[in-house]
Structure 1
Amino acid sequence: MKQATSETTTGGLYAFAAYLLWGLFPLYFLTLLPTTPWEVVAWRVLLSLVFCVVALTVTRGWRAFGRIVRQPRLLGWTAAAGILIFVNWTVYLVATLTGHVIEASLGYFINPIVTVLLGVLVLHERLRPAQWTAIGIAVVAVVVIVVGYGQVPWISLLLAFSFGLYGLTKNRVGGSVDAVSGLTLETAWLSPVAVGLLIWVGATSGITAGTAGAAHAVLLLLAGIVTAVPLLLFAAATRRAPLSLIGLLQFLTPILQFATGAFLLHEAMPLERWIGFALVWVALIVLSVDSVRNARRPRGVDDVAEIA
């Protein structure tokens, strides 16, 4: 019992660290200006691949990696995951570097609700009444923002659905692909795209790496580590802590991003945005309370599995 408690505590700390780092991402990426989002995402892909290659070498993970690449089904899922995470990274960087941090935070607030919705649409899961209620409130929140603010929150929706679908692809491979091997394959698939982006940036606006001072160059070189470390912490957390704890801690990321956008960067928060965000927060409270209550209830044959 004591060992299980210790494992849960350790897993909770890993999850907290991962979500804390993700929550601080806007402050890191803003230090990379005047580098464009397209150049940043290209370096992020390539440097993450370098980091993963080093990690596989240090941890002697090449044998496990070799078993994965010999399975076409797993290769297909990692390719799909790579495309989805590329969309997510690109949209997030465009949002952060163009003054839309609050809208990006909304995407990660509604991501848990999108994940539940994908469980219904793709995995044909049955939802409890509280989960349907949370989805309904979230839909109303988006409608309020669209009507009141005068535009569809495309950044939020793209981030929520791309990351939700990314989680779905990871769910499909389960424990067959470890975190480092998975990220290695995902970034390897994306490397030709990243190289193409750098060629395009160089031919248009010009590559900024090494031209904006030593501090900027160092921060840009850290993009691979900054990307990979929270993903590895998150993977370690999911092996130790219950999903109910990880699910509750995940709100730390959008809370920090929202606070950064609203109070540090002073992005606009008109009344309709406050109302929309308030409705999303109500939906998340409903979803979280229901998740905790269901996690504590003994599971019977009629209980329905949920994706995280």
Structure 2
Amino acid sequence: MKKGIIYAVLAYLTWGFLPLYWRLFAAMPAWEILAQRIAWSFVFVAVLVTLSRQWKQLKSVGSRGRSAAAIVLCSIFISLNWFLFIWAVNNHHVIETSLGYYMNPLISVLFAVVFLKERLSPGQWLSILLAGVGVLIMAVQYGHIPWIAISLAVTFALYGLAKKIAKLDVLLGLTGETIVALPVALGYLIYIQSQGTGSFASLPPLLVVLLLLSGAATAMPLFWFAKAMQLLPLSLVGFIQYIAPTTSLLLAIFLFNEPFSRGQLISFAFIWLALIVYSFVTVKRSKVKVVPISHRNSCRDALL
């Protein structure tokens, strides 16, 4: 449990600061950034697979029908999520991206209950209700359907569900996902370069280096996320995710100067209250499961 929480916090904290990273490439089209991100992610994970000598295991995973289908679905869902996020950040919709990732835990919990048959306590249901009220208030502030937020929430929840069901090795799963998306990414990059519309060659040297590092910036939080998914219930991972949208929201308000209304502040308060309630109930349930065992041992020792 402790390791899973550490992995989840690392992943979501990194994702929370990613708007700072992608803003550096605001002059590039979102599709080109996505293609570069996929290409360099493949390079990064391919090096890791080579060092760990796991190419044969990857081939065997790809030959299994269910695993191959899960990898394809994961690749589609995460690629769509990446594109929407990059486009939104570079078009001044960071607050709406934070709304999307506030909504995601609710959808993740719904998927956990419906598809994985996870059971929640009344206190956990209360926290979901509080979070739902907060998200509803935030959505009403826009005065229209927040399609960016909804799309981000659904695609990442589907990605998490596919990861949870597939139960693939973390590194092999990530490598398979990038391999599926790689041909499309390379084809697009070759096409725009042949048309003279590519931006990569015109970037300053520092941005070129940072773009090359996008593989590590992409793969590492996904690796941490996948490890967290293996070690924690999907519903708990969903609530730890609030770290990422909170970080992005603070960046949007205090660094990017996006408008933040009183109504949005109220919704923010509801969401954090939900997180506090959920964390308290979850910790309490964990202690309840441990205490009876120690109590029985004490009784047994006394009788002996």
Task: Pick the TM interval, shorter chain.
Answer: 0.7 to 0.9
| Counterpart for residue 42 of structure 1 | 35
Equivalent residue letter for 1:210? A
Deviates more, 1:230-239 or 1:267-276: 230-239
| Counterpart for residue 14 of structure 2 | 21
Residue pair 2:104, 2:238 contacting (<8 A) in 1 also: no
- Counterparts of 1:91 and 1:162, CA distance in 2: 10
Residue pair 1:244, 1:291 contacting (<8 A) in 2 also: no
- Counterparts of 1:114 and 1:237, CA distance in 2: 18
* C-alpha RMSD of matched pairs (Å): 2.8
Give the 5 Å matches for 1:123-272. 123-174=116-167, 177-198=168-189, 201=192, 206-236=197-227, 250-272=241-263
Unpaired stretches in structure 1, ≥5 consecutive residues: 1-6, 300-308
Q: Give the TM-score taking structure 2 as reference length.
A: 0.84
Assess, with a 3 A threshold, how the Cα gap between structure 1 residues 41 and 137 changes in structure 2: closer, same or farther. Answer: same
Query: Deviations 1:43-98 (Å, cap 9, x if unpaired)?
Result: 11111112111111011111221221121110001111111111111111111111
- Would you say 1:275 and 2:266 are equivalent positions? yes
| Shift, 1:245, TM fit | 8.5
Assess, with a 3 A threshold, how the Cα gap between structure 1 residues 154 and 130 changes in structure 2: closer, same or farther. Answer: farther
Identity %: 38
Higher share of residues assigned helix: 2
Residue pair 1:145, 1:151 contacting (<8 A) in 2 also: no
Equivalent residue letter for 1:194? A
Residue pair 2:109, 2:234 contacting (<8 A) in 1 also: no
| Shift, 1:160, TM fit | 1.8
Assess, with a 3 A threshold, how the Cα gap between structure 1 residues 248 and 127 changes in structure 2: closer, same or farther. Answer: closer
| Counterpart for residue 298 of structure 2 | none
Assess, with a 3 A threshold, how the Cα gap between structure 1 residues 279 and 228 changes in structure 2: closer, same or farther. Answer: same
Residue pair 2:105, 2:235 contacting (<8 A) in 1 also: no
Equivalent residue letter for 2:26? L
- Counterparts of 2:231 and 2:132, CA distance in 1: 33
Assess, with a 3 A threshold, how the Cα gap between structure 1 residues 158 and 46 changes in structure 2: closer, same or farther. Answer: same
Query: Deviations 1:248-286 (Å, cap 9, x if unpaired)?
Result: 754332222111111111111122222222222223333
Equivalent residue pairs, number: 290
Residue pair 2:62, 2:68 contacting (<8 A) in 1 also: yes
Equivalent residue letter for 1:229? M
- Counterparts of 2:10 and 2:116, CA distance in 1: 30
| Counterpart for residue 294 of structure 2 | none
Deviates more, 1:120-129 or 1:66-75: 120-129
- Counterparts of 1:142 and 1:245, CA distance in 2: 18
Assess, with a 3 A threshold, how the Cα gap between structure 1 residues 126 and 239 changes in structure 2: closer, same or farther. Answer: closer
- Counterparts of 1:179 and 1:54, CA distance in 2: 15
Unpaired stretches in structure 2, ≥5 consecutive residues: 291-304
- Secondary structure of the structure 1 residue equivalent to 2:80: helix
- Secondary structure of the structure 2 residue equivalent to 1:297: helix
Residue pair 2:163, 2:226 contacting (<8 A) in 1 also: no
- Would you say 1:288 and 2:279 are equivalent positions? yes
- Counterparts of 1:187 and 1:247, CA distance in 2: 24
Residue pair 2:112, 2:234 contacting (<8 A) in 1 also: no
Structure with higher Rg: it is 2
| Shift, 1:215, TM fit | 1.1
Residue pair 1:145, 1:272 contacting (<8 A) in 2 also: yes
Which residue, out of 56, 71, 80, partners 1:63? 56
Residue pair 1:110, 1:160 contacting (<8 A) in 2 also: yes
Equivalent residue letter for 1:288? S
